[in-house]
Amino acid sequence: MKKLLVLGAGTAGTMAVNKLRPRLDGWDITIVDEDEIHYYQPGFLFMPFGKYTRADLIKPKRKFIPDGVNVVIGSIDAVEADNNLVTLTDGRALAYDYLIIATGTHPTPEETPGLDGDAWYTSIYDFYTITVQKLSLANSRPGKAESWLSTSSKCQSSARSRPSSSPFSPTHSSRKREFVTRLRSST
Question: Taking the model in full, what pTM does it have?
Answer: 0.65
Q: By percentage, how much of the chain surpasses pLDDT 90?
A: 42
Would you call 155 exposed, middle or buried from its count of C-beta atoms within 10 A (0-12, 13-18, 19+)?
A: exposed
Q: Please report how many Cα atoms fall inside a 13 Å half-sphere around the Cα of residue 16, on the Cβ side.
A: 20
CA 42 to chain centre: 13
61-113 pLDDT, tens digit each: 999 999 999 999 999 999 999 999 999 999 999 999 999 999 987 777 788 87
147-166 pLDDT, tens digit each: 444 443 444 333 333 333 33
- Reported in sequence order, the residue ranges of the chain that DSSP labels E, i.e. its strands, are 3-7, 28-33, 37-39, 58-60, 69-73, 76-80, 85-88, 93-95, 98-101, 124-126, 147-149
Q: Name the CATH architecture for the domain at 3-101.
A: 3-Layer(bba) Sandwich (3.50)
> Cβ of 69: how many Cβ atoms within 10 Å?
20
Domain ranges of the chain: 3-101, 109-151+167-186
